[in-house]
Chains A and B, each alone.
Chain A
């Protein structure tokens, strides 16, 4: 079955860029997402990319997709303490609905 893997922890200094990486196994994945989860809060969709795109930029967020290597990354520019959270990579299939397969999440810690 589909598998999505992420590194578990990332620590960055405030003002630096953060890069969170994700790999997935199913090449038929059509939509790839990044979600943010803060303590005690629900999942918040940050951004998503279609599988026919290589890059998407949205303010401080840049998503890069390498379909050949099945690698997805999220770059956060000028990381702030408010960005501290768990970030989940998720992919869907060609079934046309939001059956999301999530990674285990990357905990981002931002320190002064």
Chain B
């Protein structure tokens, strides 16, 4: 596609529920990143995929968070047993290679846990 696409754009869920957030990167981009941006803060790194594998998941806050990228393109961020503190904008970015080429960000998914 023309840019990084994230769906849904908004998600409201009840505390304790399970949610999935989807990221469709720019076609051909092998690197994919997830970030989380809380209100009034800068984005915070969660996980980096190179192809299908998670090369760096050091930013995932706890074992309720998990991400997959089974075919090396679309990625899904999964959050189990959501908590109100998980409310944030979840951003996805992709870039073309293994270096520090420009990372293109999607518009984000605003997750609200009530």
Taking beta carbons and an 8 Å cutoff, which residues of A are in contact with B? Answer: 4, 30-31, 40-45, 48, 88, 90, 92, 95-105
Nearest neighbor of B102 in chain A, beta-carbon distance: A45
A-B contact count (CB 8 A): 64
Helix, strand, loop or mixed for chain A's interface? loop
B2 at the binding interface (Cβ < 8 Å): no
Q: Within 8 Å CB of A100, what residues of B?
A: 33, 35, 43, 45, 103
Q: Within 8 Å CB of B93, what residues of A?
A: 43, 98
Q: Within 8 Å CB of B106, what residues of A?
A: 42
Q: Within 8 Å CB of A96, what residues of B?
A: 98-100
Nearest neighbor of B42 in chain A, beta-carbon distance: A102
Contact between B42 and A98 (Cβ–Cβ < 8 Å)? no
Contact between A102 and B98 (Cβ–Cβ < 8 Å)? no
Q: A96-B98, A96-B100 are in contact. Are A42 and B108 (CB under 8 A)?
A: yes
Tell which of B41, B42, B45, B101 touches A99, judged by Cβ atoms closer than 8 Å: B45
Band of interface residues on B:
20 to 34
Contact between B105 and A43 (Cβ–Cβ < 8 Å)? yes
Contact with A along B63-104 (1 / 0, CB 8 A): 000000000000000000000000000010101001111111
Q: Which of B11-19, B20-28, B48-56 contacts A (4 or more CB under 8 A)?
A: B48-56
Tell which of A4, A97, A101 touches B48, judged by Cβ atoms closer than 8 Å: A97
Q: Within 8 Å CB of A41, what residues of B?
A: 107
Q: A42-B105, A43-B105 are in contact. Are A101 and B45 (CB under 8 A)?
A: yes
- The listed residue with most A CB atoms (<10 A of its CB), out of B42, B56, B106, B108, is B42
Tell which of A4, A44, A92, A101 touches B100, judged by Cβ atoms closer than 8 Å: A92
Q: Within 8 Å CB of B42, what residues of A?
A: 4, 88, 90, 102-105
A90 CA to B33 CA, complexed, in Å: 15
Nearest neighbor of A8 in chain B, beta-carbon distance: B40
- The listed residue with most B CB atoms (<10 A of its CB), out of A92, A96, A102, A103, is A102
